[in-house]
Structure 1
Amino acid sequence: MIPVRGYEGAKVAVLGLGRSGLATARALVEGGAEALVWDDNEAARSRAADEGFTVADLTKAQSFQDVAALIVSPGIPHLYPAPNRVVQLAMDAGVPVDNDIGLFFRSFATDDWDRFDVTPKVIAVTGSNGKSTTSALIHHILCHVNRDAQLAGNIGRGVLDIDPPVDGSVVVLELSSYQTELARSLTPDIAVFTNLTPDHLDRHGGFGGYFAAKRRLFAEGGPDRAVIGVDEVEGQFMANQLAQGPTDDQVIRVSGSRKLAGNDWHVFAKKGFLAEWRKGRQVASIDLRAIPGLPGTHNHQNACAAYAALRPLGLAPKVIEAALHTFKGLPHRSQTIAEQNGVRYVNDSKATNADSAAKALSAFKNIRWICGGLEKEGGLGRVQAQLPNVAKAYVIGREAAAFALHLGDTPLEVCDTMERAVASAAAEAQPGDTVLLAPAAASFDQYDSFEKRGEDFISQVQAVLKA
């Protein structure tokens, strides 16, 4: 646990009592604060009370008398489309609003670090797609070389629930736009921006607000090194804003699809090969094509971002390359779950928007594509260029028929359920085909989460293959 510093003897309110909320309350108490907790869910309040926390109805204005701060969980709106009523009451009372990420950065460093030979580091990863895989890949490589490392934030453990750092520790944080937008303190040593595509636009008042939330990690965080994906204009703009000149190596530009030029520090993948260039000279090359845990150009971009984040820590290219070959991938992200009779079954349930689904579709040929769900803003325009890779689409979800209308002349079957989609796809698949779940939509019309959707896909595939 990371005890929260700066609130000793003060009352701090915590809104939302899921994993991060409870961890925050515990860390506040460990640091000497009094935690006043609230959740609209009665069962969550009851669990917090059983743990000994003071449950205070924060929906009443008088609850913020003598409160030093309100700490908000990521899923609770603090600005758009409208602030949660508790957040609004705190702002009306002049009470600072923060989140667990802000508390972490103000509390992580301690006087104990004076005795360390190697100062602990924080690598923070954000972006629309690939941030989970990039974060996990960085953590995997650090563990492979026996460096003390912890994975936290939007993946792994709650950020305040991790162990205090030891000499040479590295903490790898995956940060969502909800987290970067609200955190009052952001001070990573190395910050990574993977890419930007439309997502969560209702929570940020549009695409510009979404980009601004991501940009805070760099513009206000002031990292020693910034690893920036430049395959979109927003990344190009941010790299340009952060660099002090054409040879500034505090910015490492990354591309997953094209060769980069210039005398700066850059890492790119082209035709399956990762290349590192610095000061106009190539210093390393890695063949990514034979790494099963990183299929497709989108994962090659993730590999480039992870590689670039680790090079400033002194890891050699050959060491990183060896670790890449041992990476198995993450569940629900281009996860190969079975191969039988020449047919590959891949679970990419995390492809919850059109851009991430398009990247999954670009990684394979002869695809039996299981898609559909709760459609997001922006439609399916980004998948259109990859539809030639699709032999047939099998559409699921409560609005499957409406979703299917976006697929044009692509052969398709409206299946409604995962069970029917998997059965049909498996029955029609030929050797060389890939049965791919990449929904291009949220899961909440039929499932509690993308994880539950992916687990159902895995279960249905296993049932079909055993039959």
Structure 2
Amino acid sequence: MIAVEGYQGLRVGVLGLGRSGLATCAALMEGGAEVCAWDDSPEAREKANAEGFGTVDLTKQGTVEGLDVLITSPGIPHLYPAPHPVIAAALAAGVPVDNDISLFFQALENRDEPPKVICVTGSNGKSTTTALIAHLLTVAGRDVRMAGNIGTGVLSIELPGEGGVVVLELSSYQTDLARRLAPDVAVFTNLSPDHLDRHGGMGGYFAAKKRLFTEGAPARAVIGVDEGEGQYLATQLAQSVDDTRVIRVSSGQKLNGPGWSVSARKGFLSEWRGGKQAHSIDLRPMAGLPGAHNHQNACAAYAAVRALGLAPRQIEAGLASFQGLPHRSQLIGEKDGVTFVNDSKATNVDSAAKALQAFPKIRWIAGGLGKEGGIAALTPHLGAVRKAYMIGHSARDFALQLGDTPHEICETMERAVARAAEEAEPGDVVLLAPAAASFDQYPNFEKRGEAFAALVQDLLGR
């Protein structure tokens, strides 16, 4: 745990008592703050009380006005579509509102030799890129901690030792509110529409991501430039075309200008500096990084650790040994020439499109609780789909948008896996890439992916 100093004797409200909220309470109390913890859920309050954090009803009129600062969890709206009542009361009373990411950077300010910090944001690929960066550094012998949106509250970690690195995945909710952002290396993977209700539209969503770079002023910025927003951000940060503080990253484009870039084309990663190729890596044999979207993740991770001084050969060894993350193009197994891949994290059409472009012959399992527009935007990416097997609440709606693509309404994961495996031929990939939320049948995408993996394991006889 990281003790947060600077709040000794102050009354600090903590709104939201999930994983990061409880870690925040502990870190503030360790630093001498008087913590007033609250969550709208009685179960969460009961857990907080059991762990020794006294709860105070921050919804009671006049309570928030007595706080010196309010720390809120990222899942709680602070502006759009409407602020949580406790946050609204804090804003009206002039009480500063902050989050645990900001407290983490504040804690580092008091360290004589703080660790290096790499922060990763973007729409898709954040988790894989974050985990890959941590893996590359670990393989190279560095002391690494990984936290943030990837699953560990940042204030619950122990800081690494000398020469260590903290790698953080940051969502737009986290970057939007943090009053302090000071990474050594910041990574922007890509941008596609998501969480627009929380940011008042696409402009607000991009602005939240951009704060990591404009407010954080990293020594190095790794920017995915396959979309217009990334190109704009890279040019806003660079002082000139050959400014090596900005490392441009692409999957599909050839980047070989006068600056510093890392790109992947036809399965080969290439690093260019000053118009000269510095290194090249064949990504095609690397089972943990299938498809162009993972090659973009590999480029971003390569650039981030190169910025910290890792040698290309060290990075290549780490890329080869990376096993991928669960539910993100995760190889479950193979039988009779048929491969089974779990990409349950593909909860929107953009991430599903990337998965559909990663394999040549696909038996596609999709569906769930569909989002606005359904899967109509996937029409250009269905060329490799031999047949689709639709599940969940939106199965029939999705089927109507498949055009001439062969399909079957299966409704359940059990039937979809059984039918896809029964009809699959050698060389086919049975791919779970739902393009939908999971909440109609599963509590989260992880449980959906676990259900798929368990069914496949039964088929494989494991």
TM-score by length of 2: 0.98
**Separation in 2, partners of 1:208, 1:407:** 31
Matched, 1:314 2:309: yes
Aligned to 1:391: 386
Determine if contact 1:68/1:95 at 8 Å carries over to the other structure.
yes
Aligned with residue 264 of structure 2, among 266, 269, 293: 269
Aligned with residue 178 of structure 1, among 169, 173, 178: 173
**Separation in 2, partners of 1:51, 1:421:** 43
**Separation in 2, partners of 1:111, 1:256:** 38
| Matches for 1:63-102 after TM superposition, within 5 Å | 63-102=63-102
Matched, 1:27 2:27: yes
**Separation in 2, partners of 1:381, 1:185:** 40
Q: Which amino acid aligns with 1:8?
A: Q
**Separation in 1, partners of 2:395, 2:286:** 35
Matched, 1:121 2:116: yes
Determine if contact 1:2/1:108 at 8 Å carries over to the other structure.
no
C-alpha deviations, 1:168-196, integer Å up to 9, x for none?
11000000011111111111010000000
Aligned to 1:257: 252
| Matches for 1:233-252 after TM superposition, within 5 Å | 233-252=228-247
Q: Which amino acid aligns with 1:53?
A: F
CA offset at residue 383 of structure 1? 2.0
Aligned with residue 127 of structure 2, among 115, 132, 135: 132
CA offset at residue 381 of structure 1? 4.3
SS in 1 for 2:79: coil
Determine if contact 1:134/1:306 at 8 Å carries over to the other structure.
yes
Determine if contact 1:199/1:377 at 8 Å carries over to the other structure.
no
Aligned to 1:295: 290
Aligned to 2:108: 108
**Separation in 2, partners of 1:403, 1:202:** 23
CA offset at residue 336 of structure 1? 0.6
Aligned to 1:368: 363
Classify 1:126/1:378 alpha carbon distance in 2 versus 1 (closer, same or farther; 3 Å).
farther
**Separation in 1, partners of 2:269, 2:458:** 38
Aligned to 1:230: 225
CA offset at residue 78 of structure 1? 1.0
Determine if contact 1:425/1:435 at 8 Å carries over to the other structure.
yes
Matched, 1:9 2:9: yes
CA offset at residue 5 of structure 1? 2.1
Aligned to 2:45: 45
Q: Which amino acid aligns with 1:261?
A: N
Q: Which amino acid aligns with 1:34?
A: E
Aligned to 2:275: 280
Aligned with residue 413 of structure 1, among 388, 404, 408: 408
Flag structure 2 segments of 5+ consecutive residues without an equivalent. Answer: none
| Matches for 1:51-66 after TM superposition, within 5 Å | 51-66=51-66
Aligned to 1:211: 206
**Separation in 2, partners of 1:205, 1:395:** 32
| Matches for 1:141-156 after TM superposition, within 5 Å | 141-156=136-151
C-alpha deviations, 1:68-121, integer Å up to 9, x for none?
1111111111111111111111111111111111111111233442xxxxx520
CA offset at residue 43 of structure 1? 1.2
SS in 1 for 2:383: helix
C-alpha deviations, 1:222-256, integer Å up to 9, x for none?
10000000000000000010000011000000001
C-alpha deviations, 1:1-30, integer Å up to 9, x for none?
111122111011111111001000000101
Determine if contact 2:65/2:95 at 8 Å carries over to the other structure.
no
C-alpha deviations, 1:415-444, integer Å up to 9, x for none?
111111111111111111100000111111
TM-score by length of 1: 0.97
Aligned to 1:346: 341
**Separation in 2, partners of 1:298, 1:381:** 20
Task: Output the aligned Cα RMSD.
Answer: 1.2
CA offset at residue 378 of structure 1? 5.0
Flag structure 1 segments of 5+ consecutive residues without an equivalent. Answer: 114-118
SS in 2 for 1:105: helix
**Separation in 2, partners of 1:14, 1:403:** 42
CA offset at residue 382 of structure 1? 3.9
C-alpha deviations, 1:343-366, integer Å up to 9, x for none?
000000011111111111111011
